[in-house]
Amino acid sequence: MSYFSSTLGMEPGGDRQDPARPARAEPGRWPKLEAALAAVNRDLTATLPGQDALVLMNVPSWEPEPRTAVAGDQGRVTEDQVYVGMPDGRWHGNAVNVCDLEEGDPREPQDAMTVLSVVAEAAQETVMELRRQAWPICWVHKIGLHQRPAGTTADWCGEETDPGGPPVWWCRGGGECHDVSVVGELAATLPGKQRRALRRGERERGGHA
């Protein structure tokens, strides 16, 4: 699913956007998702210069009204779904929060490592689909990386997880699988030239080298 809106937040006349439309998530509403996306955005800005940080998008979830609803009613808004999107409001892939509140699910995953894994995967789907390129890339083997549990082997099954360790960007190039970096720490793996350019950019923006 992909959506585009040029009117996120406030309309030009000062009226609030229709709450039934997708919009950027309100800061502080999804703290675990926000923390995970901040880590992923570090990798994004380090490896795709010029790409603005990704954002969380709230997308209203619609359910049919009961049979007693008035004819013509389109539905009622339930818990929002949250996607990782581009700054212009477009996204691709699956929601990063759990929305079946009637089953007792939390509004967002509880384990920090699970959240980071889910958000990294969603961010990768959005970037790759909307920029039409592989991301991130292994600088050694020049192929796309995958988000995996640390120490993943070539025969890894998607249902296998290691909750004790952080998710990593993983490469299967060169005939030997290897972990490239923990999600959020790709900058440390950049070749010297790119790493120096990144540090110069940080200094110019008033950051720390």
180 domain-assigned: yes
94 domain-assigned: yes
190 domain-assigned: yes
pLDDT, mean of residues 108-122: 87
Domain that holds residue 106: 23-64+75-204
Output the DSSP codes for 14-36: SPBPPTTS-EEPPTTSSHHHHHH
Does residue 99 carry a pLDDT above 50? yes
3 domain-assigned: no
Instruction: Count the domains in the chain.
Output: 1
166 domain-assigned: yes
pLDDT at 203: 57
192 domain-assigned: yes
Rounded distance, CA 8 to CA 146, Å?
A: 31
Prediction pTM value: 0.75
163 domain-assigned: yes
Mean pLDDT of the chain: 77
Q: Which helix (H) or strand (E) holds 180?
A: strand 178-182
Does residue 56 carry a pLDDT above 90? yes
135 domain-assigned: yes
Query: 135-169, pLDDT tens digit by residue?
Result: 999 988 999 999 998 887 777 666 555 545 789 99
